[in-house]
Amino acid sequence: MSNYVIITDSGCDLAADTLQQWSVDCINLTFHLDGSSQEYVNADMPPKVFYQRMREGSVFKTAAANMEDFRLVFEPRLQAGTDILYLGFSSGLSNTVNSGRMVATELLEKYPERRITVIDTLCASAGQGLMVYLAVQKKQSGASLEEVAAYVAETLPGLCHWFTVDDLVYLKRGGRVSAATALLGGMLNIKPILHVDDEGHLISMSKVRGRRQSIQALAKQYEETALFPENGLYFISHGDCMDDAKALENCIYEKYGAKATLIADIGPVIGSHSGPGTLALFFLGKAR
């Protein structure tokens, strides 16, 4: 069985020390303050600082990882005789995974004895992180690169992403909702319930009034669609709203006795588009 490494990107919203513990390499997407050319990666700015700046009116833009970013991570691994399984941020939200594909094609011509498998997870934030976690668990059980890749492909159609945002203005900036919808939603305290669909796009599914109702709506999705609700295999991510993340965890715990496997910060790259107060739930379900 060949030696291989799992690589992902910062679209997964997993902390650097977590990825290091799992022996997973990470390729960074970047973000910058609108009007500035200074680029940052998630690790450069603590989430609390980032979200406070957003609350104060700062607008951030993001950029996909480019081909050179991939070369710098992929090539040393290939030179060391290591194959690569790359689990990438949804192509429905970023061009990052396509850059990975192009570099893989280029490098395999240079290292024909090696193998690079690129998988578009069609996932985002800690949903992508949950898929990385599952792949690592499979690898640690002794599975080959081919076996882990097959497992990922089989699992992705049931990896559920449900989330809500506290302020529609950030989705308006990204073209996810209209200006009128954002204005009316703010006036009426409307909170959308969204998910990531089978093509990796953000889709609005329903609307509720108030934060408490939106948290309960996320918990209800877990109750109705999780494959194994009692096993506690779910991730939560949040945009500087840990109290709400814990409230969501408690909703699930009270019914199933299951604490979250991981509660993660939504990093600046994702948070630039969703804003402070975003709350998301990820788990394995009957379908996305």
- CA nearest neighbour of 287 among 244, 219, 224, 245: 224
Question: What topology is assigned to 4-156 in CATH?
Answer: Rossmann fold (3.40.50)
Q: How many CA atoms lie within 13 A of 155 on its CB side?
A: 22
Those residues whose C-beta lies under 8 Å from the C-beta of residue 204, and which sit 6 or more positions away, are 176, 177, 192, 193, 194
Cα–Cα distance list, 35 to 58, 59, 175, 271 (Å): 10, 9, 19, 18
Query: Would you say residue 19 has pLDDT above 70?
Result: yes
Fold agreement between 4-156 and 158-284: no
Tell me which CATH code domain 158-284 carries. Answer: 3.30.1180.10
Single-letter code of the amino acid located at 210: G
Model confidence pLDDT, tens digit, residues 104-144 = 999 999 999 999 999 999 999 999 999 999 999 999 999 99
Query: Would you say residue 182 has pLDDT above 70?
Result: no
Higher pLDDT, 62 or 167: 62
Q: How many CA atoms lie within 13 A of 140 on its CB side?
A: 10
Q: What is the mean pLDDT of residues 211-231?
A: 92
CA distance 83 to 114: 6
Categorize the per-residue pLDDT at 183 as very low, low, confident or very high, splitting at 50, 70 and 90. Answer: very low
pTM, rounded to two decimals: 0.92
Residue 55 phi/psi, 5-degree rounding, is: -60, -30
Residue spans of the domains in the chain: they are 4-156, 158-284
Q: Which single residue is written with the structure tokens 């993340």?
A: 245
Average pLDDT, the chain: 91
Give SS3 for 241: coil
CA distance 172 to 175: 5
Percent of the chain at pLDDT > 70 equals 92
Alpha helices (H) along 174-210: 179-188
Would you put residue 232 in left (φ > 0), alpha (ψ -120 to 50) or beta? left
Q: State both tokens at 265.
A: 């910060």
Residue 240 phi/psi, 5-degree rounding, is: 60, 45
The reported pLDDT for the residue numbered 129 is: 98
Q: State both tokens at 161.
A: 């992403």
CA distance 16 to 22: 10
Which of 29-43, 92-106, 113-127, 186-200 is predicted least confidently? 186-200
